[in-house]
Amino acid sequence: MSCLRLVLGDQLSPSLASLRDLQAGDVVLMAEVAEEAGYVNHHQKKIAFVFSAMRHFADELRRKDVELIYTEYDDTDNTGSLAGEVRRAIERLSPERLILTEPGEFRLYQEFNTWKDTFNLPVEIRADTRFLTSIEAFSAWAEGRKSLRMEFFYREARRQHQILMRGDEPEGGQWNYDQENRQPPRDGLNPPPPFRVEPDEITREVLDLVTKHFSGHFGHLEHFGYGVCREDALNALDVFIEERLPHFGTWQDAMVDGEPWMYHAHIGLYLNAGLLLPIEVIRRAEQAWHDGTAPLNAVEGFIRQILGWREYVRGIYWLTMPDYASANALEADRPLPDFYWTADTEMRCLQQCVSETRDNAYAHHIQRLMVLGNFALLAGIDPAEVNAWYLAVYADAYEWVELPNVSGMTLYADGGYLASKPYAASGAYINRMSTYCRHCRYKVAAKTGQDACPFNYLYWDFLIRNKDKLKTNPRMGMPYRTLERMAEDKIAAIRDDSQRFLDTLR
């Protein structure tokens, strides 16, 4: 029986479910299509990474004598859509079956489920076995629980996969080591340079293509150095384990002016495109602990991001879609400010985070959450516009991981389904965890007035605006008690400063 097997741009794994049991006569289809490259304003480096990684993966399949149809973006017959390319392949090959691996985005899953009727052909959608927790297993875990807290999910996953465990107990006697992690930056930190790969001929061709077709998209292609094949991704993992992991835990939340990479792994784009598998990354980090080359607080903190958070947000996504995409519990409706695209703002923290995102298609998780996201939360920016921005600008962004992080963790748009409280913070947090405030025109110590850090008055304005929705949250009790004791003239100044500042946003 000959089968047509579709591989998407984030499914670049030899162990992919739809590539399992390949038989003689089967054909693999891969396609670079305008519909996927342009449905949001994807960063130029993101498009270049995905297209080049796809072409390198296709070459690997050819070297294994896999029969392949590969549609490049510039091919004259390219229909511009996955459905169009599947139709062309079916008309050419007359396969008996179409085999897919479940996609990472709900819109594609909906489309794939129509293809049986569209193409009058049996369509088999296989579970994505690259994840450690299946969609069905997460649903079973969630059933009947009043709250779906990541910490409980993470502990069960540690036990199930025997990761950093001694029997049924965690290594070191604790499940997490936050008390040893997340230190503010100190003078003299000197993170190593990021892992880079010099573009080869395939990548250079892709860079030319992106320049030709996507020059109007966010970002630029200068100094493109991401890996684009599995060997590159494994090398990037090696460099992280050896050079950065020992310091990762301590400084994972620190932000330093001019240091976008810090001690983070920078492998999210390789994991999310399939060039690395989560279990191999987790085992490498665990081995570093056993070998004595990285401390337990760093290793546990890193593993929690993958085994815990990454698997958890995927489960939340598939459990709640499609309704989750339209969640807006705080009724935020302000348009996204222009500076999210231009970096044209006097707020140093935002200017740096947007500039580094523009330059690298990357920012680490605290920049995303507590600077870029915190501002969007406090300013009441429309979740749909914020989600579209995050999905577009980061090389590791796919909806299954982006949407719960933004709507749930960052914007509290789901009303507390994912996070137990809004991650709202004033300028004091940014000043404590970064060096940005040293170089800012605003004064972080000033609470109100023209020179005050906007985060300071926007924080209280956010609490005032959303009092009816948030005051009963037990984790918001302290700030609301402080607000109740606040003098009326101070509240008036907060409201006036906030309105004046927000009116300047375009």
Pairing assessment for the beta strands 165-166 and 169-170 based on DSSP bridges = antiparallel
Helix H, strand E, coil C: the string for 106-162 is HHHHHHHCCHHHHHCCCEEEECCCCCCCCHHHHHHHHCCCCCCCHHHHHHHHHHHHC
Pairing assessment for the beta strands 68-71 and 123-126 based on DSSP bridges = unpaired
CB-neighbour burial class of residue 226 (10 A; exposed 0-12, middle 13-18, buried 19+)? buried
Residues 447, 497, single domain; the answer is: yes
The answer to the question of residue 262 being in a domain is: yes
174: domain range? Answer: 135-209+229-320
The answer to the question of residue 326 being in a domain is: no
Residues 236, 255, single domain; the answer is: yes
Residues 101, 180, single domain; the answer is: no
CATH code for the domain in which residue 298 is found: 1.25.40.80
Residues 26, 104, single domain; the answer is: yes
The answer to the question of residue 87 being in a domain is: yes
CATH code for the domain in which residue 343 is found: 1.10.579.10
Q: Which of 288, 320, 352 is the last residue of a domain?
A: 320
DSSP 70: E
CATH code for the domain in which residue 109 is found: 3.40.50.620
Residues 457, 439, single domain; the answer is: yes
The answer to the question of residue 222 being in a domain is: no
Q: CB neighbours of 438 closer than 8 A, spacing ≥ 6? A: 257
Helix (DSSP H) and strand (DSSP E) numbers for the chain = 25, 7
Residues 311, 458, single domain; the answer is: no
Burial letters 308-344, b for 16+ CB under 10 A, else e: bbbbbbbbbbbbbbeebbebebbebeeebbebbbebe
Q: Which of 266, 285, 320 is the last residue of a domain?
A: 320
Residues 292, 363, single domain; the answer is: no
Q: How far is CA 57 from the centre of its chain?
A: 22
The answer to the question of residue 240 being in a domain is: yes
Phi and psi at 98, nearest 5°, equal -115, 125
Residues 464, 436, single domain; the answer is: yes
Burial letters 153-166, b for 16+ CB under 10 A, else e: bbeebbeeeebbee
Residues 171, 115, single domain; the answer is: no
The answer to the question of residue 423 being in a domain is: yes
Q: Which of 105, 126, 147 is the last residue of a domain?
A: 126
Q: Are 41 and 19 a contacting pair, CB within 8 Å?
A: no
Rounded distance, CA 374 to CA 352, Å? 15
Q: What is the pLDDT along the chain (506 residues), one digit of tens a residue?
A: 599 999 999 999 999 999 999 999 999 999 999 999 999 999 999 999 999 999 999 999 999 999 999 999 999 999 999 999 999 999 999 999 999 999 999 999 999 999 999 999 999 999 999 999 999 999 999 999 988 999 999 999 999 999 999 999 999 999 999 888 889 999 989 999 999 999 999 999 999 999 999 999 999 999 999 999 999 999 999 999 999 999 999 999 999 999 999 999 999 999 999 999 999 999 999 999 999 999 999 999 999 999 999 999 999 999 999 999 999 999 999 999 999 999 999 999 999 999 999 999 999 999 999 999 999 999 999 999 999 999 999 999 999 999 999 999 999 999 999 999 999 999 999 999 999 999 999 999 999 999 999 999 999 999 999 999 999 999 999 999 999 999 999 999 999 999 999 999 97
Q: Are 246 and 293 a contacting pair, CB within 8 Å?
A: yes
Nearest to 289 by CA among 305, 302, 275: 302
Residues 151, 285, single domain; the answer is: yes
The answer to the question of residue 37 being in a domain is: yes
The answer to the question of residue 405 being in a domain is: yes
Residues 73, 116, single domain; the answer is: yes
Residues 150, 86, single domain; the answer is: no
**How many structural domains does the chain have?**
3
